[in-house]
C-alpha cells in the first residue's frame, strides 16, 4: 500500500510539473509577443491620441512583468522595466502633484524595481513619496464627482477614489510606501480612502449582501441588466480583488488593516465563486448573461490571481477554491493565440457593454493591461501548483 501511494504521488508530481511547464510557456509566449511588439518601452502609446507609456494601461502590464520575473528571473525583463522607469524619471504620470489614481499606478512597479537599482529609496522614489504626501493633504475640490453624487467629495481629503478601478491603481502603492518607509500614515490614509469608496461614495460602492462592487456611483441601484439583475462589471471587481491581495501582501498579517481587507476579500471570494462558469471563465457581467454571454479574459485572470494568492497565503482554503483555480487556468490557456496575443479580452471602459462584442478574434483598444492581467493570473497559479508539490 505504501509503495502504491508513492507511485501515485510521483505521478501527481509529474503531472503538476508538466502543468507548471505549460503555464510558464504560455506566460513567456504572451510576454515575448508584447516585448517584441513594443520593443522600445519609452515610446508613447497611440490609441486615439498620444499618451505617455506611464499611463495606467501600461503600468498594469509592468505589474504582470514583475510577477513573471518572480518565477522566471531574466535580466531582460528587469532591463526593459528599468529603461521604462528611468525614462519616466521614477515619477507618476502627470507629475508629483497629480491626485489621479490612474497616474499613480506606474509607481507600484517603481517600488518593485528598487532592489535592482542598488540605490536608496529616498533617492529613487523621491517623487513618488512626494506625490502621496501631496495627495494626503489635498482636498478634492471638483464640483461634480459623478452624475448621481454631485459635490459628494468636494473639500474632502478622502474622496479621490470615486471609481473602483482606482483602488487597484493606487491603494497597493500606499501600502508599499508604508512598508518601505515604516510610516503608517500612508497605509492609514489609504484605508480611509478605501472605506470612503466602500461605504460613502454613491451610498457605498460595495454591496455587502451580494459581495460585489458597483463600478461607481452611476451604477448603484437601480442600474440593472436587461433581465433585471444587478450590474456588476467583471474587470472592475477584478481590480478590487487584485488590489486587496496586493495590499495585504504589504501588511502584517496580524494587523487590524490586514484583517479588515481580508474580510472583504473573503466575502468577494464567496461571491465570485458563484459567478464562475463551468468552463472556468467569468463573463463581462458577473451575475447576468442576458446581454453579454461570452467569456472574458481580463476579469478571469484577475480572479485567478486573487484566488490563487488567497490559497497561497492561507486566506482561502484550497478545498473550497482549488478547483476554481484549476478550471480558470484551463480557460486562460485557451485564450492564447499562436502569435502570443490574447483573445476574449474586453477593451477599456467602465461596464460590461464596453468594447463589445468580445470574441476570441476581437482586438481590444489597448492590449497592454490585458497582458498584465494574464501574467498576474498565471504566475500566481504557478506558485499554487508549486506549493501543491510540497503538501
Averaged confidence pLDDT in the chain = 93
How many C-beta neighbours within 10 Å does residue 46 have? 8
**What is the biggest distance separating any 2 CA atoms in the chain, rounded to whole angstroms?**
73
Query: Residue 5 — very low, low, confident or very high, per pLDDT cuts 50/70/90?
Result: very low
- Residues linked to residue 49 through DSSP beta bridges, in sequence order: 47
> Above 80 in pLDDT, residue 215?
yes
Taking the CA atoms of the chain, what radius of gyration do you get in angstroms? 20
* pLDDT at residue 3, rounded to an integer: 59
CB distance 128 to 92 below 8 Å: yes
Determine the Cα–Cα distance for residues 365 and 199; give it in Å rounded to an integer: 33
DSSP summary character for residue 356: P
Average pLDDT over residues 67-74: 98
Could you report the per-residue pLDDT of 316-327, keeping only the tens digit for each?
999 999 999 999
User: What does pTM read for this prediction?
Assistant: 0.94
> Above 50 in pLDDT, residue 8?
no
Average pLDDT over residues 27-33: 98
- 16-390 belongs to CATH 1.20.1430.10: no
* pLDDT at residue 391, rounded to an integer: 64
- For residue 357, whether the previous peptide bond is cis, meaning omega lies within 30 degrees of 0, is yes
* pLDDT at residue 389, rounded to an integer: 79
Query: Residue 109 — very low, low, confident or very high, per pLDDT cuts 50/70/90?
Result: very high
Helices (H) and strands (E) in the chain, counts: 14, 6
* pLDDT at residue 10, rounded to an integer: 44
Return the higher-pLDDT residue of 126 and 141: 126
How many C-beta neighbours within 10 Å does residue 181 have? 15
**DSSP codes, 150-213:** BTTTTTBSSTT--BTHHHHHHHHHHHHHHHHHT-HHHHHHHHHHHHHHHHTGGG-SEETTTTEE
> Above 70 in pLDDT, residue 259?
yes
* pLDDT at residue 20, rounded to an integer: 87
Nearest to 264 by CA among 384, 171, 136: 171
> Above 90 in pLDDT, residue 12?
no
Lowest mean pLDDT among 11-25, 262-276, 288-302, 374-388: 11-25
Could you report the per-residue pLDDT of 153-192, keeping only the tens digit for each?
555 899 999 999 999 999 999 999 999 999 999 999 999 9
CB distance 238 to 297 below 8 Å: no
* pLDDT at residue 154, rounded to an integer: 52
Determine the Cα–Cα distance for residues 199 and 52; give it in Å rounded to an integer: 34
Lowest mean pLDDT among 135-139, 221-225, 232-236: 221-225
361-375 in b/e form (b: 16+ CB < 10 A) is eeebebbbbbbbbbb
Query: Residue 146 — very low, low, confident or very high, per pLDDT cuts 50/70/90?
Result: low
* pLDDT at residue 217, rounded to an integer: 85
Determine the Cα–Cα distance for residues 141 and 156; give it in Å rounded to an integer: 7
Apex 154 CA angle, 151 and 158, nearest 5:
125
* pLDDT at residue 98, rounded to an integer: 98
Could you report the per-residue pLDDT of 48-69, keeping only the tens digit for each?
999 999 999 999 999 999 999 9
Lowest mean pLDDT among 60-64, 145-149, 249-253: 145-149
Return the higher-pLDDT residue of 275 and 20: 275
Matching residue, cell 528611468 = 86
> Above 60 in pLDDT, residue 287?
yes
Query: Residue 220 — very low, low, confident or very high, per pLDDT cuts 50/70/90?
Result: confident
Determine the Cα–Cα distance for residues 95 and 68; give it in Å rounded to an integer: 28
Amino acid at each position: 500500500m505504501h509503495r502504491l501511494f508513492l507511485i501515485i504521488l510521483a505521478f501527481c508530481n509529474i503531472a503538476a510539473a508538466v502543468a507548471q511547464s505549460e503555464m510558464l510557456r504560455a506566460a513567456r509566449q504572451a510576454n515575448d509577443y508584447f516585448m517584441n511588439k513594443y520593443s522600445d518601452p519609452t515610446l508613447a502609446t497611440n490609441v486615439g491620441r498620444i499618451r505617455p507609456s506611464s499611463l495606467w494601461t501600461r503600468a498594469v502590464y509592468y505589474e504582470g512583468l514583475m510577477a513573471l520575473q518572480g518565477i522566471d528571473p531574466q535580466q531582460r525583463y528587469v532591463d526593459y522595466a528599468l529603461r521604462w522607469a528611468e525614462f519616466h524619471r521614477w515619477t507618476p504620470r502627470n507629475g508629483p502633484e497629480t491626485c489621479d489614481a490612474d497616474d499613480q499606478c506606474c509607481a507600484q512597479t517603481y517600488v518593485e524595481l528598487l532592489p535592482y537599482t542598488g540605490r536608496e529609496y529616498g533617492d529613487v522614489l523621491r517623487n513618488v513619496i512626494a506625490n502621496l504626501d501631496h495627495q494626503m493633504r489635498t482636498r478634492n475640490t471638483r464640483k461634480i464627482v459623478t452624475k448621481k453624487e454631485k459635490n459628494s467629495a468636494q473639500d474632502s481629503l478622502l474622496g479621490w477614489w470615486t471609481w473602483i478601478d482606482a483602488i487597484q491603481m493606487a491603494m497597493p502603492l500606499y501600502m508599499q510606501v508604508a512598508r518601505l518607509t515604516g510610516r503608517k500614515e500612508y497605509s492609514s490614509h489609504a484605508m480611509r480612502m478605501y472605506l470612503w469608496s466602500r461605504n460613502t461614495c454613491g451610498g457605498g460602492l460595495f454591496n455587502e449582501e451580494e459581495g460585489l462592487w458597483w463600478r461607481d456611483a452611476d451604477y448603484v441601484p437601480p442600474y440593472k441588466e436587461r433581465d433585471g439583475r444587478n450590474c456588476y462589471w467583471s474587470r472592475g471587481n477584478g481590480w478590487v480583488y487584485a488590489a486587496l491581495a496586493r495590499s495585504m501582501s504589504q501588511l502584517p498579517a496580524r494587523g487590524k488593516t490586514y484583517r479588515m481587507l481580508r474580510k472583504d476579500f473573503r466575502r468577494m471570494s464567496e461571491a465570485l465563486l458563484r459567478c464562475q462558469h463551468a468552463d472556468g471563465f467569468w463573463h463581462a457581467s458577473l451575475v447576468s448573461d442576458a446581454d453579454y454571454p461570452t467569456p472574458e479574459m481580463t476579469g478571469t485572470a484577475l480572479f485567478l490571481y486573487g484566488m490563487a494568492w488567497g490559497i497561497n497565503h492561507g486566506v482561502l482554503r484550497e478545498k473550497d477554491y482549488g478547483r476554481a483555480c484549476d478550471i480558470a487556468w484551463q480557460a486562460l490557456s485557451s485564450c492564447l493565440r499562436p502569435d502570443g496575443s490574447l483573445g476574449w479580452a474586453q477593451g477599456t471602459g467602465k461596464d460590461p457593454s464596453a468594447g463589445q462584442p468580445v470574441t476570441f478574434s476581437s482586438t481590444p483598444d489597448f492590449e497592454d493591461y490585458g497582458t498584465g492581467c494574464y501574467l498576474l493570473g498565471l504566475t500566481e497559479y504557478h506558485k499554487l501548483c508549486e506549493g501543491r508539490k510540497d503538501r
